[in-house]
Structure 1
Amino acid sequence: MNILLWHVHGSWTTAFVQGPHTYLVPVTPDRGPDGLGRAQTFSWPDSVREVSPGELARTPVDLVVLQRPHEEELARSWLGRRPGRDVPAVYLEHNAPDGDVPATRHPCADRDDLVLVHVTHFNRLFWDGGRTRTEVIEHGIVDPGHLYTGRLPRAAVVVNEPVRRGRYTGTDLLPALAQAAPLDVFGMRTEGLAAHLGLAAERCTSHELAQRQLHAAMAQRRLYLHPVRWTSLGLSLLEAMHLGMPVVALATTEAVEAVPPGAGVLSTRPEVLARAARHYLEDPRAAAEDGARARQAALERYGLKRFLDDWERLMTEVRS
Protein backbone atom coordinates (compact mmCIF):
# COMPACT_ATOMS: atom_id res chain seq x y z
CA MET A 1 0.00 0.00 0.00
CA ASN A 2 1.20 3.51 -0.82
CA ILE A 3 0.36 5.87 2.05
CA LEU A 4 0.68 9.63 1.66
CA LEU A 5 1.40 11.59 4.83
CA TRP A 6 3.20 14.80 5.65
CA HIS A 7 6.20 14.90 7.99
CA VAL A 8 4.50 16.75 10.84
CA HIS A 9 5.32 14.85 14.04
CA GLY A 10 8.70 13.12 13.90
CA SER A 11 8.29 10.82 16.90
CA TRP A 12 4.82 9.60 15.93
CA THR A 13 5.82 9.11 12.31
CA THR A 14 8.87 7.11 13.36
CA ALA A 15 6.55 4.49 14.86
CA PHE A 16 3.99 4.62 12.02
CA VAL A 17 6.51 4.00 9.24
CA GLN A 18 7.70 0.77 10.85
CA GLY A 19 4.75 -0.93 9.17
CA PRO A 20 4.84 -3.04 5.97
CA HIS A 21 3.89 -0.30 3.48
CA THR A 22 5.46 2.39 1.34
CA TYR A 23 5.20 5.82 2.93
CA LEU A 24 5.17 8.84 0.61
CA VAL A 25 6.40 11.99 2.33
CA PRO A 26 6.14 15.28 0.37
CA VAL A 27 9.33 17.27 -0.12
CA THR A 28 9.66 20.81 -1.46
CA PRO A 29 12.83 22.71 -2.44
CA ASP A 30 12.78 24.79 0.74
CA ARG A 31 11.89 21.80 2.95
CA GLY A 32 9.32 23.99 4.62
CA PRO A 33 6.45 22.82 6.86
CA ASP A 34 4.55 21.34 3.90
CA GLY A 35 7.58 19.62 2.42
CA LEU A 36 10.03 18.56 5.13
CA GLY A 37 10.73 15.24 3.48
CA ARG A 38 12.49 12.50 5.40
CA ALA A 39 13.53 13.11 8.97
CA GLN A 40 17.11 14.17 9.61
CA THR A 41 17.27 13.28 13.31
CA PHE A 42 15.07 10.15 13.43
CA SER A 43 15.84 6.75 12.00
CA TRP A 44 13.33 5.94 9.23
CA PRO A 45 13.39 2.83 7.01
CA ASP A 46 13.95 2.89 3.27
CA SER A 47 10.21 2.35 2.76
CA VAL A 48 9.77 6.11 3.44
CA ARG A 49 10.08 7.82 0.05
CA GLU A 50 10.33 11.52 -0.62
CA VAL A 51 8.00 12.73 -3.39
CA SER A 52 7.67 16.19 -4.87
CA PRO A 53 4.27 17.78 -5.47
CA GLY A 54 4.79 17.33 -9.20
CA GLU A 55 5.45 13.60 -8.81
CA LEU A 56 2.36 12.98 -6.72
CA ALA A 57 -0.03 13.54 -9.64
CA ARG A 58 1.34 10.41 -11.33
CA THR A 59 2.03 8.35 -8.20
CA PRO A 60 -0.46 5.66 -7.08
CA VAL A 61 -1.79 6.48 -3.61
CA ASP A 62 -3.96 4.04 -1.68
CA LEU A 63 -4.55 6.09 1.48
CA VAL A 64 -4.05 9.68 2.61
CA VAL A 65 -3.30 10.41 6.28
CA LEU A 66 -4.23 14.05 6.92
CA GLN A 67 -2.86 15.73 10.05
CA ARG A 68 -3.58 19.45 9.55
CA PRO A 69 -6.70 21.13 8.11
CA HIS A 70 -4.99 22.65 5.08
CA GLU A 71 -3.51 19.32 3.96
CA GLU A 72 -6.83 18.34 2.39
CA GLU A 73 -6.48 21.15 -0.15
CA LEU A 74 -2.80 20.32 -0.70
CA ALA A 75 -3.70 16.71 -1.41
CA ARG A 76 -6.48 17.72 -3.78
CA SER A 77 -4.14 20.05 -5.65
CA TRP A 78 -1.07 17.80 -5.75
CA LEU A 79 -2.84 14.48 -6.34
CA GLY A 80 -5.65 15.72 -8.52
CA ARG A 81 -7.91 13.58 -6.30
CA ARG A 82 -10.18 14.41 -3.38
CA PRO A 83 -9.25 12.77 -0.07
CA GLY A 84 -12.20 10.82 1.25
CA ARG A 85 -13.95 10.81 -2.13
CA ASP A 86 -11.49 9.77 -4.81
CA VAL A 87 -8.94 8.20 -2.47
CA PRO A 88 -9.52 6.79 1.05
CA ALA A 89 -8.51 9.13 3.86
CA VAL A 90 -8.23 9.41 7.61
CA TYR A 91 -7.62 12.55 9.64
CA LEU A 92 -5.15 12.00 12.47
CA GLU A 93 -5.55 14.50 15.30
CA HIS A 94 -2.40 14.73 17.43
CA ASN A 95 -3.50 17.51 19.75
CA ALA A 96 -5.85 18.25 22.59
CA PRO A 97 -8.40 20.92 21.62
CA ASP A 98 -7.68 24.59 22.06
CA GLY A 99 -9.98 27.56 22.28
CA ASP A 100 -13.50 27.06 23.63
CA VAL A 101 -12.75 23.90 25.60
CA PRO A 102 -14.68 21.65 26.09
CA ALA A 103 -16.99 22.85 23.30
CA THR A 104 -14.27 22.93 20.61
CA ARG A 105 -15.55 21.68 17.26
CA HIS A 106 -13.11 19.66 15.25
CA PRO A 107 -12.41 20.83 11.67
CA CYS A 108 -13.55 17.38 10.49
CA ALA A 109 -16.80 17.37 12.44
CA ASP A 110 -19.86 15.98 10.66
CA ARG A 111 -17.95 14.32 7.81
CA ASP A 112 -19.10 11.05 6.25
CA ASP A 113 -16.13 10.57 3.92
CA LEU A 114 -13.25 9.98 6.34
CA VAL A 115 -12.41 8.66 9.80
CA LEU A 116 -11.18 10.96 12.56
CA VAL A 117 -8.43 9.26 14.57
CA HIS A 118 -7.32 10.51 17.99
CA VAL A 119 -4.10 9.47 19.72
CA THR A 120 -5.66 9.50 23.22
CA HIS A 121 -9.06 8.84 24.71
CA PHE A 122 -8.81 12.20 26.49
CA ASN A 123 -8.58 13.98 23.14
CA ARG A 124 -11.60 12.13 21.78
CA LEU A 125 -13.55 13.07 24.90
CA PHE A 126 -12.77 16.78 24.60
CA TRP A 127 -12.99 17.31 20.84
CA ASP A 128 -16.49 17.66 19.40
CA GLY A 129 -16.38 15.57 16.24
CA GLY A 130 -20.10 15.67 15.57
CA ARG A 131 -21.29 12.74 13.45
CA THR A 132 -17.86 11.87 12.02
CA ARG A 133 -16.78 8.31 12.70
CA THR A 134 -14.14 8.56 15.40
CA GLU A 135 -11.49 6.08 16.52
CA VAL A 136 -8.69 6.12 19.08
CA ILE A 137 -5.37 4.51 18.24
CA GLU A 138 -3.06 5.06 21.17
CA HIS A 139 0.60 5.80 20.66
CA GLY A 140 3.19 3.18 19.94
CA ILE A 141 6.89 3.51 20.67
CA VAL A 142 9.95 2.05 18.99
CA ASP A 143 11.51 0.58 22.10
CA PRO A 144 14.84 2.31 22.86
CA GLY A 145 15.66 -0.35 25.45
CA HIS A 146 16.03 -0.30 29.23
CA LEU A 147 18.84 2.27 29.28
CA TYR A 148 18.17 3.80 32.69
CA THR A 149 21.10 4.38 35.03
CA GLY A 150 19.83 7.41 36.97
CA ARG A 151 23.41 8.19 37.91
CA LEU A 152 22.86 11.95 37.74
CA PRO A 153 20.74 13.34 40.61
CA ARG A 154 18.79 15.61 38.29
CA ALA A 155 15.37 15.61 36.62
CA ALA A 156 14.94 15.36 32.86
CA VAL A 157 12.26 17.55 31.26
CA VAL A 158 11.49 17.31 27.55
CA VAL A 159 9.57 20.20 26.01
CA ASN A 160 9.81 22.22 22.83
CA GLU A 161 9.59 26.02 22.97
CA PRO A 162 8.95 26.26 26.72
CA VAL A 163 9.14 30.07 26.79
CA ARG A 164 6.59 30.60 24.02
CA ARG A 165 4.22 27.87 25.22
CA GLY A 166 4.37 29.00 28.84
CA ARG A 167 1.50 27.78 30.98
CA TYR A 168 0.48 25.10 28.48
CA THR A 169 3.69 23.21 29.18
CA GLY A 170 3.94 24.22 32.84
CA THR A 171 6.99 26.40 32.29
CA ASP A 172 5.84 28.67 35.12
CA LEU A 173 6.06 25.70 37.53
CA LEU A 174 9.73 25.03 36.83
CA PRO A 175 11.29 27.57 39.26
CA ALA A 176 9.68 25.91 42.29
CA LEU A 177 10.33 22.41 40.99
CA ALA A 178 13.96 23.30 40.28
CA GLN A 179 14.42 23.94 44.00
CA ALA A 180 13.49 20.30 44.64
CA ALA A 181 15.57 18.81 41.82
CA PRO A 182 17.96 20.51 39.40
CA LEU A 183 16.51 20.34 35.89
CA ASP A 184 17.94 19.36 32.54
CA VAL A 185 15.51 20.63 29.92
CA PHE A 186 15.75 18.97 26.51
CA GLY A 187 14.00 20.22 23.38
CA MET A 188 13.89 22.79 20.64
CA ARG A 189 14.27 26.48 21.48
CA THR A 190 15.10 25.94 25.13
CA GLU A 191 18.12 28.26 25.11
CA GLY A 192 17.87 31.11 27.59
CA LEU A 193 15.25 29.30 29.67
CA ALA A 194 17.16 29.60 32.96
CA ALA A 195 17.54 33.35 32.55
CA HIS A 196 13.90 33.70 31.56
CA LEU A 197 12.87 31.89 34.75
CA GLY A 198 15.41 33.69 36.94
CA LEU A 199 17.20 30.43 37.75
CA ALA A 200 20.91 29.86 38.25
CA ALA A 201 22.46 27.77 35.49
CA GLU A 202 23.18 24.86 37.82
CA ARG A 203 19.46 24.60 38.68
CA CYS A 204 18.26 24.61 35.07
CA THR A 205 20.30 23.71 32.00
CA SER A 206 19.09 23.53 28.39
CA HIS A 207 20.02 20.92 25.81
CA GLU A 208 19.08 20.42 22.16
CA LEU A 209 20.02 16.91 21.04
CA ALA A 210 19.25 14.61 18.14
CA GLN A 211 16.81 11.83 18.98
CA ARG A 212 19.53 9.18 18.98
CA GLN A 213 21.43 11.16 21.62
CA LEU A 214 18.38 12.22 23.61
CA HIS A 215 17.41 8.81 24.96
CA ALA A 216 20.87 8.07 26.34
CA ALA A 217 21.02 11.50 27.98
CA MET A 218 17.57 11.20 29.52
CA ALA A 219 18.35 7.77 30.95
CA GLN A 220 21.27 9.17 32.96
CA ARG A 221 18.92 11.46 34.90
CA ARG A 222 17.31 10.18 38.10
CA LEU A 223 13.70 10.91 37.07
CA TYR A 224 11.49 12.22 34.33
CA LEU A 225 9.50 15.36 35.18
CA HIS A 226 6.37 16.13 33.17
CA PRO A 227 4.89 19.50 34.28
CA VAL A 228 2.55 19.83 31.30
CA ARG A 229 -0.86 21.36 31.95
CA TRP A 230 -2.56 21.10 28.58
CA THR A 231 -1.24 19.23 25.59
CA SER A 232 -1.84 15.82 24.16
CA LEU A 233 0.07 12.99 25.79
CA GLY A 234 3.75 13.78 25.20
CA LEU A 235 5.61 10.97 23.48
CA SER A 236 8.66 11.91 25.51
CA LEU A 237 6.82 10.73 28.62
CA LEU A 238 6.21 7.32 27.04
CA GLU A 239 9.80 7.19 25.82
CA ALA A 240 11.02 7.94 29.36
CA MET A 241 8.92 5.07 30.67
CA HIS A 242 10.35 2.75 28.02
CA LEU A 243 13.82 3.80 29.13
CA GLY A 244 12.97 2.69 32.68
CA MET A 245 12.63 6.14 34.24
CA PRO A 246 10.26 6.91 37.12
CA VAL A 247 7.75 9.61 36.23
CA VAL A 248 6.74 12.70 38.22
CA ALA A 249 3.89 14.36 36.37
CA LEU A 250 0.93 16.66 36.62
CA ALA A 251 -2.25 14.57 36.73
CA THR A 252 -3.70 16.24 33.65
CA THR A 253 -4.90 15.17 30.21
CA GLU A 254 -3.96 11.53 29.39
CA ALA A 255 -1.07 11.26 31.86
CA VAL A 256 -3.43 9.81 34.49
CA GLU A 257 -4.12 6.87 32.15
CA ALA A 258 -0.56 6.39 30.93
CA VAL A 259 1.26 6.26 34.28
CA PRO A 260 -0.13 3.53 36.56
CA PRO A 261 0.37 3.33 40.34
CA GLY A 262 3.90 2.28 41.23
CA ALA A 263 5.44 3.79 38.10
CA GLY A 264 5.83 7.29 39.52
CA VAL A 265 3.86 10.07 41.16
CA LEU A 266 1.01 12.08 39.62
CA SER A 267 -0.75 14.99 41.27
CA THR A 268 -2.41 18.29 40.47
CA ARG A 269 -0.45 19.82 43.36
CA PRO A 270 3.04 21.03 42.38
CA GLU A 271 4.23 20.70 45.98
CA VAL A 272 3.48 16.96 45.83
CA LEU A 273 5.53 16.69 42.66
CA ALA A 274 8.39 18.54 44.35
CA ARG A 275 8.35 16.09 47.27
CA ALA A 276 8.33 13.15 44.87
CA ALA A 277 11.31 14.54 42.97
CA ARG A 278 13.27 14.95 46.20
CA HIS A 279 12.35 11.40 47.21
CA TYR A 280 13.77 9.95 44.01
CA LEU A 281 16.93 12.03 44.31
CA GLU A 282 17.47 10.72 47.84
CA ASP A 283 16.51 7.08 47.12
CA PRO A 284 18.04 5.82 43.86
CA ARG A 285 16.81 2.30 44.56
CA ALA A 286 13.18 3.44 44.75
CA ALA A 287 13.67 5.40 41.55
CA ALA A 288 15.01 2.35 39.72
CA GLU A 289 12.23 0.09 41.01
CA ASP A 290 9.47 2.51 40.00
CA GLY A 291 11.19 3.05 36.67
CA ALA A 292 11.22 -0.69 35.98
CA ARG A 293 7.47 -0.79 36.62
CA ALA A 294 7.02 2.21 34.34
CA ARG A 295 8.86 0.39 31.56
CA GLN A 296 6.74 -2.73 31.92
CA ALA A 297 3.52 -0.71 31.83
CA ALA A 298 4.65 1.20 28.74
CA LEU A 299 5.64 -1.97 26.90
CA GLU A 300 2.26 -3.51 27.59
CA ARG A 301 0.12 -0.53 26.60
CA TYR A 302 2.23 1.42 24.13
CA GLY A 303 4.17 -1.31 22.37
CA LEU A 304 4.91 -0.98 18.69
CA LYS A 305 3.18 -4.22 17.60
CA ARG A 306 -0.17 -3.23 19.13
CA PHE A 307 0.09 0.22 17.55
CA LEU A 308 0.82 -1.13 14.06
CA ASP A 309 -1.86 -3.83 14.36
CA ASP A 310 -4.45 -1.19 15.30
CA TRP A 311 -3.51 0.93 12.31
CA GLU A 312 -3.51 -2.05 9.97
CA ARG A 313 -7.04 -2.95 11.05
CA LEU A 314 -8.33 0.58 10.53
CA MET A 315 -6.61 1.10 7.19
CA THR A 316 -8.04 -2.18 5.90
CA GLU A 317 -11.54 -1.09 6.94
CA VAL A 318 -11.20 2.35 5.38
CA ARG A 319 -10.10 0.92 2.05
CA SER A 320 -12.77 -1.80 1.88
Structure 2
Amino acid sequence: MRILLWHVHGSWTHSFVQGGHDYLIPGPPHGTGLAGRPWEATEVDPSEVDADVAVVQRLDELSRVPAGIPQVYLEHNTPSAPAQEHPLAGWDGTIVHVTHFNDLMWDCGTTRTVVIEHGVVDPGPLYTGELPRAAAVINEPVRRGRIVGTDLLPRFDPIDVFGMGTEQIGGMGDHGLDALHRELARRRVYVHTPRWTSLGLSLLEAMHIGMPVVALASTEAIRAVTAEVGAISTNVGELVSATRDLVADPDLAREKGRRAREFALAHYGLDAFLRNWDVTLKEVIG
Protein backbone atom coordinates (compact mmCIF):
# COMPACT_ATOMS: atom_id res chain seq x y z
CA MET A 1 0.00 0.00 0.00
CA ARG A 2 0.95 3.61 -0.58
CA ILE A 3 0.07 5.37 2.68
CA LEU A 4 -0.03 9.15 3.08
CA LEU A 5 0.49 10.43 6.62
CA TRP A 6 1.84 13.52 8.31
CA HIS A 7 4.63 13.20 10.88
CA VAL A 8 2.80 14.18 14.08
CA HIS A 9 3.82 11.81 16.90
CA GLY A 10 7.35 10.59 16.27
CA SER A 11 7.30 7.52 18.51
CA TRP A 12 4.00 6.29 17.11
CA THR A 13 5.13 6.91 13.53
CA HIS A 14 8.39 5.08 14.21
CA SER A 15 6.37 1.95 14.90
CA PHE A 16 3.87 2.49 12.08
CA VAL A 17 6.46 2.81 9.29
CA GLN A 18 7.92 -0.60 10.13
CA GLY A 19 5.10 -2.28 8.20
CA GLY A 20 6.81 -2.63 4.84
CA HIS A 21 4.50 -0.34 2.85
CA ASP A 22 5.32 2.83 0.90
CA TYR A 23 5.01 5.70 3.38
CA LEU A 24 4.49 9.18 1.94
CA ILE A 25 5.17 11.94 4.45
CA PRO A 26 4.54 15.60 3.51
CA GLY A 27 7.70 17.67 3.75
CA PRO A 28 8.14 21.44 4.16
CA PRO A 29 6.19 23.63 3.77
CA HIS A 30 3.32 21.13 3.93
CA GLY A 31 4.62 19.22 6.96
CA THR A 32 7.72 18.40 8.98
CA GLY A 33 8.79 15.58 6.69
CA LEU A 34 11.13 12.97 8.14
CA ALA A 35 12.73 15.54 10.47
CA GLY A 36 16.02 13.67 10.42
CA ARG A 37 14.53 10.23 11.05
CA PRO A 38 16.14 7.38 9.09
CA TRP A 39 12.75 5.95 8.12
CA GLU A 40 12.17 4.16 4.84
CA ALA A 41 9.68 6.79 3.71
CA THR A 42 9.43 9.46 1.03
CA GLU A 43 8.87 13.17 1.57
CA VAL A 44 6.11 14.42 -0.73
CA ASP A 45 3.91 17.35 -1.66
CA PRO A 46 0.47 16.11 -0.54
CA SER A 47 -1.33 17.98 -3.32
CA GLU A 48 0.52 15.94 -5.94
CA VAL A 49 0.60 12.53 -4.29
CA ASP A 50 -1.07 9.34 -5.49
CA ALA A 51 -1.85 7.15 -2.48
CA ASP A 52 -4.12 4.22 -1.67
CA VAL A 53 -5.13 5.61 1.71
CA ALA A 54 -4.38 8.49 4.08
CA VAL A 55 -3.95 8.27 7.85
CA VAL A 56 -5.08 11.67 9.13
CA GLN A 57 -4.23 12.78 12.68
CA ARG A 58 -5.35 16.43 12.77
CA LEU A 59 -8.60 17.95 11.59
CA ASP A 60 -6.94 20.38 9.20
CA GLU A 61 -5.34 17.45 7.36
CA LEU A 62 -8.75 16.23 6.17
CA SER A 63 -8.94 19.03 3.60
CA ARG A 64 -5.31 18.55 2.53
CA VAL A 65 -5.76 14.99 1.30
CA PRO A 66 -6.31 14.89 -2.48
CA ALA A 67 -9.83 14.00 -3.60
CA GLY A 68 -10.47 10.33 -4.14
CA ILE A 69 -8.03 9.02 -1.51
CA PRO A 70 -9.82 7.13 1.29
CA GLN A 71 -9.10 8.49 4.77
CA VAL A 72 -8.97 7.11 8.28
CA TYR A 73 -8.74 9.45 11.27
CA LEU A 74 -6.29 8.47 14.01
CA GLU A 75 -7.29 9.87 17.42
CA HIS A 76 -4.40 9.93 19.90
CA ASN A 77 -6.02 11.94 22.66
CA THR A 78 -8.51 11.56 25.46
CA PRO A 79 -11.53 13.90 25.52
CA SER A 80 -11.64 16.65 28.11
CA ALA A 81 -14.78 15.05 29.59
CA PRO A 82 -16.69 11.78 29.04
CA ALA A 83 -19.62 13.64 27.46
CA GLN A 84 -17.49 15.49 24.90
CA GLU A 85 -18.61 14.95 21.33
CA HIS A 86 -15.83 14.14 18.90
CA PRO A 87 -15.39 16.69 16.09
CA LEU A 88 -15.99 13.86 13.61
CA ALA A 89 -19.10 12.45 15.29
CA GLY A 90 -21.48 11.50 12.49
CA TRP A 91 -18.66 11.29 9.91
CA ASP A 92 -18.96 8.60 7.25
CA GLY A 93 -15.34 7.49 7.76
CA THR A 94 -13.50 5.50 10.43
CA ILE A 95 -11.92 6.80 13.62
CA VAL A 96 -9.10 4.71 15.04
CA HIS A 97 -8.49 5.10 18.78
CA VAL A 98 -5.15 4.09 20.29
CA THR A 99 -6.72 2.87 23.55
CA HIS A 100 -9.97 1.29 24.67
CA PHE A 101 -10.29 4.07 27.25
CA ASN A 102 -10.35 6.71 24.54
CA ASP A 103 -12.95 4.75 22.58
CA LEU A 104 -15.06 4.49 25.73
CA MET A 105 -14.86 8.16 26.62
CA TRP A 106 -15.21 9.93 23.26
CA ASP A 107 -18.77 10.41 22.02
CA CYS A 108 -18.28 9.59 18.35
CA GLY A 109 -21.97 9.35 17.54
CA THR A 110 -22.64 7.13 14.53
CA THR A 111 -19.05 7.23 13.26
CA ARG A 112 -17.42 3.82 12.99
CA THR A 113 -14.66 3.39 15.55
CA VAL A 114 -11.84 0.86 15.83
CA VAL A 115 -9.27 0.38 18.58
CA ILE A 116 -5.71 -0.44 17.53
CA GLU A 117 -3.55 -0.56 20.62
CA HIS A 118 0.02 0.65 20.60
CA GLY A 119 2.85 -1.48 19.33
CA VAL A 120 6.45 -0.70 20.21
CA VAL A 121 9.69 -1.30 18.34
CA ASP A 122 11.47 -3.46 20.91
CA PRO A 123 14.56 -1.62 22.23
CA GLY A 124 15.75 -4.87 23.81
CA PRO A 125 16.34 -5.95 27.43
CA LEU A 126 18.60 -3.02 28.31
CA TYR A 127 17.81 -2.82 32.01
CA THR A 128 20.67 -2.65 34.48
CA GLY A 129 19.02 -0.68 37.30
CA GLU A 130 22.46 0.33 38.51
CA LEU A 131 21.32 3.75 39.74
CA PRO A 132 19.10 3.67 42.88
CA ARG A 133 16.77 6.32 41.48
CA ALA A 134 13.44 6.53 39.73
CA ALA A 135 12.91 7.81 36.19
CA ALA A 136 10.00 9.40 34.33
CA VAL A 137 9.50 10.64 30.78
CA ILE A 138 7.22 13.67 30.41
CA ASN A 139 7.24 16.03 27.47
CA GLU A 140 6.74 19.68 28.44
CA PRO A 141 6.10 18.98 32.14
CA VAL A 142 5.85 22.65 33.11
CA ARG A 143 3.25 23.59 30.50
CA ARG A 144 1.16 20.44 30.96
CA GLY A 145 1.30 20.53 34.75
CA ARG A 146 -1.32 18.55 36.67
CA ILE A 147 -2.55 16.70 33.59
CA VAL A 148 0.71 14.76 33.44
CA GLY A 149 1.24 14.77 37.21
CA THR A 150 4.20 17.15 37.28
CA ASP A 151 3.16 18.24 40.77
CA LEU A 152 3.56 14.65 42.02
CA LEU A 153 7.16 14.18 40.91
CA PRO A 154 8.85 15.65 44.04
CA ARG A 155 7.21 12.95 46.14
CA PHE A 156 9.22 10.31 44.25
CA ASP A 157 12.58 12.00 44.78
CA PRO A 158 15.24 10.97 43.84
CA ILE A 159 13.81 10.93 40.33
CA ASP A 160 15.22 11.96 36.96
CA VAL A 161 12.72 13.40 34.49
CA PHE A 162 13.40 13.04 30.77
CA GLY A 163 11.61 14.42 27.74
CA MET A 164 11.13 17.55 25.68
CA GLY A 165 11.18 20.62 27.88
CA THR A 166 13.47 19.09 30.50
CA GLU A 167 17.21 19.33 30.97
CA GLN A 168 17.59 15.63 30.30
CA ILE A 169 17.67 13.75 27.00
CA GLY A 170 14.57 14.62 25.02
CA GLY A 171 14.40 11.53 22.83
CA MET A 172 14.27 13.52 19.60
CA GLY A 173 15.26 11.47 16.57
CA ASP A 174 16.21 7.81 16.61
CA HIS A 175 19.70 8.47 17.99
CA GLY A 176 18.19 10.45 20.83
CA LEU A 177 15.62 7.72 21.44
CA ASP A 178 18.37 5.11 21.73
CA ALA A 179 20.23 7.32 24.17
CA LEU A 180 17.05 7.88 26.17
CA HIS A 181 16.44 4.13 26.44
CA ARG A 182 19.98 3.53 27.63
CA GLU A 183 19.67 6.20 30.31
CA LEU A 184 16.27 4.96 31.48
CA ALA A 185 17.65 1.45 31.75
CA ARG A 186 20.23 2.61 34.29
CA ARG A 187 17.51 3.78 36.71
CA ARG A 188 15.97 1.30 39.14
CA VAL A 189 12.26 1.95 38.47
CA TYR A 190 10.01 3.83 36.03
CA VAL A 191 7.30 6.13 37.41
CA HIS A 192 4.20 7.03 35.36
CA THR A 193 2.32 10.03 36.83
CA PRO A 194 -0.16 11.29 34.17
CA ARG A 195 -3.67 11.85 35.52
CA TRP A 196 -5.45 12.29 32.20
CA THR A 197 -3.60 11.48 29.00
CA SER A 198 -3.64 8.71 26.47
CA LEU A 199 -1.35 5.78 27.23
CA GLY A 200 2.23 7.02 26.97
CA LEU A 201 4.53 5.08 24.67
CA SER A 202 7.41 5.84 27.04
CA LEU A 203 5.72 3.66 29.67
CA LEU A 204 5.51 0.76 27.24
CA GLU A 205 9.09 1.33 26.11
CA ALA A 206 10.26 1.23 29.74
CA MET A 207 8.48 -2.10 30.18
CA HIS A 208 10.09 -3.44 26.99
CA ILE A 209 13.48 -2.39 28.37
CA GLY A 210 12.79 -4.55 31.43
CA MET A 211 12.08 -1.83 34.00
CA PRO A 212 9.63 -2.33 36.86
CA VAL A 213 6.93 0.34 36.64
CA VAL A 214 4.85 2.29 39.15
CA ALA A 215 1.78 4.03 37.73
CA LEU A 216 -1.29 6.03 38.61
CA ALA A 217 -4.38 3.87 38.01
CA SER A 218 -5.90 6.33 35.56
CA THR A 219 -7.02 6.18 31.93
CA GLU A 220 -5.55 3.18 30.03
CA ALA A 221 -2.71 2.50 32.48
CA ILE A 222 -4.86 -0.05 34.32
CA ARG A 223 -4.69 -2.32 31.24
CA ALA A 224 -0.94 -1.95 30.84
CA VAL A 225 0.31 -2.23 34.42
CA THR A 226 -0.37 -4.96 36.97
CA ALA A 227 0.97 -5.58 40.46
CA GLU A 228 3.17 -8.32 39.00
CA VAL A 229 5.21 -5.78 37.04
CA GLY A 230 5.42 -3.09 39.73
CA ALA A 231 2.56 -1.19 41.34
CA ILE A 232 -0.58 0.65 40.25
CA SER A 233 -2.92 2.68 42.44
CA THR A 234 -4.80 5.98 42.76
CA ASN A 235 -3.20 6.30 46.21
CA VAL A 236 -0.02 8.25 45.57
CA GLY A 237 1.32 7.31 49.01
CA GLU A 238 1.14 3.64 48.04
CA LEU A 239 3.03 4.35 44.83
CA VAL A 240 5.72 6.31 46.65
CA SER A 241 6.14 3.43 49.09
CA ALA A 242 6.31 0.87 46.26
CA THR A 243 8.91 2.99 44.46
CA ARG A 244 11.08 3.14 47.57
CA ASP A 245 10.80 -0.62 48.04
CA LEU A 246 11.92 -1.24 44.46
CA VAL A 247 14.78 1.24 44.72
CA ALA A 248 15.95 -0.45 47.93
CA ASP A 249 15.70 -4.01 46.56
CA PRO A 250 17.53 -4.52 43.24
CA ASP A 251 16.55 -8.20 43.05
CA LEU A 252 12.86 -7.41 43.46
CA ALA A 253 13.14 -4.64 40.87
CA ARG A 254 14.88 -6.95 38.42
CA GLU A 255 12.25 -9.68 38.81
CA LYS A 256 9.33 -7.30 38.33
CA GLY A 257 11.14 -5.74 35.39
CA ARG A 258 11.50 -9.17 33.80
CA ARG A 259 7.75 -9.69 34.13
CA ALA A 260 7.11 -6.20 32.75
CA ARG A 261 9.09 -7.02 29.63
CA GLU A 262 7.23 -10.30 29.15
CA PHE A 263 3.88 -8.54 29.50
CA ALA A 264 4.82 -5.72 27.13
CA LEU A 265 6.07 -8.11 24.45
CA ALA A 266 2.86 -10.13 24.69
CA HIS A 267 0.40 -7.22 24.72
CA TYR A 268 2.16 -4.31 22.99
CA GLY A 269 4.38 -6.01 20.45
CA LEU A 270 4.94 -4.65 16.97
CA ASP A 271 3.56 -7.60 14.99
CA ALA A 272 -0.01 -7.36 16.28
CA PHE A 273 0.02 -3.56 15.90
CA LEU A 274 1.06 -3.73 12.25
CA ARG A 275 -1.28 -6.63 11.49
CA ASN A 276 -4.29 -4.80 12.94
CA TRP A 277 -3.46 -1.68 10.95
CA ASP A 278 -3.22 -3.70 7.75
CA VAL A 279 -6.68 -5.16 8.36
CA THR A 280 -8.24 -1.76 9.07
CA LEU A 281 -6.63 0.03 6.12
CA LYS A 282 -7.70 -2.70 3.71
CA GLU A 283 -11.27 -2.34 5.02
CA VAL A 284 -11.15 1.42 4.49
CA ILE A 285 -9.81 1.05 0.94
CA GLY A 286 -12.58 -1.46 0.20
Partner of 2:170: 208
Matches within 5 A, 1:213-232: 213-232=179-198
CA contact (8 A) 2:188 2:211 kept: yes
Partner of 2:162: 186
Which structure has the larger Rg over C-alpha atoms?
1
Q: Does 1:66 align with 2:76?
A: no
Q: Does 1:292 align with 2:258?
A: yes
Matches within 5 A, 1:276-315: 276-315=242-281
Partner of 1:269: 235
Partner of 1:259: 225
CA contact (8 A) 1:184 1:207 kept: no
Partner of 1:97: 79
Tell me the distance in 2 between the aligned counterparts of 1:149 and 1:277. 16
The TM-score, its normalising length taken from structure 1, stands at: 0.86
- Once the two structures are TM-superposed, the CA of residue 313 in structure 1 deviates from its matched residue by 0.7
Structure 1: give runs of 5+ residues left out of the alignment: 192-205
Q: Say what the alpha-carbon RMSD is for the aligned residues.
A: 1.2
Matches within 5 A, 1:43-62: 43-44=38-39, 46=40, 48-53=41-46, 56-57=47-48, 59-62=49-52
Tell me the distance in 1 between the aligned counterparts of 2:257 and 2:82. 34
Equivalent residue pairs, number? 282
Q: Which among 70, 83, 97 is matched to residue 118 of structure 1? A: 97
Q: Does 1:161 align with 2:140?
A: yes
CA contact (8 A) 1:93 1:116 kept: yes
SS in 1 for 2:228: coil
CA contact (8 A) 1:143 1:303 kept: yes
Tell me the distance in 1 between the aligned counterparts of 2:17 and 2:35. 11
Matches within 5 A, 1:136-147: 136-147=115-126
Tell me the distance in 2 between the aligned counterparts of 1:175 and 1:296. 30
Moved over 6 A (4+): none
- Once the two structures are TM-superposed, the CA of residue 43 in structure 1 deviates from its matched residue by 4.4
- Greater share of residues in helix: 2
Structure 2: give runs of 5+ residues left out of the alignment: none
Tell me the distance in 2 between the aligned counterparts of 1:111 and 1:50. 29
CA contact (8 A) 2:169 2:179 kept: no
Partner of 2:208: 242
Q: Percent identity?
A: 57
SS in 1 for 2:11: helix
Partner of 1:201: none
Tell me the distance in 2 between the aligned counterparts of 1:102 and 1:318. 27
